Amino acid sequence: DPQGKEDEADTGYQAISDKETTDLRALMSGCDTAVTAADQFADRLTAELSVLDGDNIHSMMASEEAVDNLMDLLTTSINEVELLESRLNQYDDLLEHIRDSMEKMEGKTESLETVNDNNSKLLIELDTLVLELQISYEHQCCCKS
């Protein structure tokens, strides 16, 4: 019933569960519910509330310790990740330097190949020129005199 739920929200009333009802009946059955035993019943409720409060405090302290441990682990993990990131950046810088060096070497290799090709062509041309310019022994003698 939507109207009933709105009424519960307005008044702050919340129905107890079946388990809570059973527990309350068991607690009440252990006490004489007569008016004369009301103090005894209230004392028993207070004692059980104190036990529950103690359990809650221990639970919260254990939770706080677990959270502190988790925070320490997270801090350590963050530090390790930062160290790893620093190393990766160093490796990246080294790889970039190697890549640049390789590109320069490729350029130098291409230049050397061009120089070798040109030298080979020049040698062929010089051989051809020398063969064409060879003059006979008689002509050489004439040139010397």
The per-residue pLDDT for range 1-49, each reduced to its tens digit, is 555 555 545 556 677 888 888 877 777 766 555 545 667 777 788 888 7
Band (pLDDT 50/70/90 cuts) for residue 98 is very high
Q: In degrees to the nearest 10, what's the CA dihedral of 39, 40, 46, 50?
A: 150
Residue linked to tokens 């706080």? 64
One-letter identity of residue 110: E
One-letter identity of residue 92: D
Residue-level pLDDT at 30: 63
For 30-44, the three-class secondary structure string (H helix, E strand, C coil) is CCCCCHHHHHHHHHH
Note the pTM of the prediction, 2 decimals: 0.40
Residue-level pLDDT at 49: 79
CA distance 61 to 66: 9
Band (pLDDT 50/70/90 cuts) for residue 68 is confident
CB 22 within 8 A of CB 16: no
Greatest mean pLDDT range, 38-47, 57-66, 84-93:
84-93
The per-residue pLDDT for range 100-142, each reduced to its tens digit, is 999 888 888 888 899 999 999 999 999 888 888 777 778 778 8
Residue-level pLDDT at 62: 75
Residue linked to tokens 């529950």? 52
One-letter identity of residue 74: L
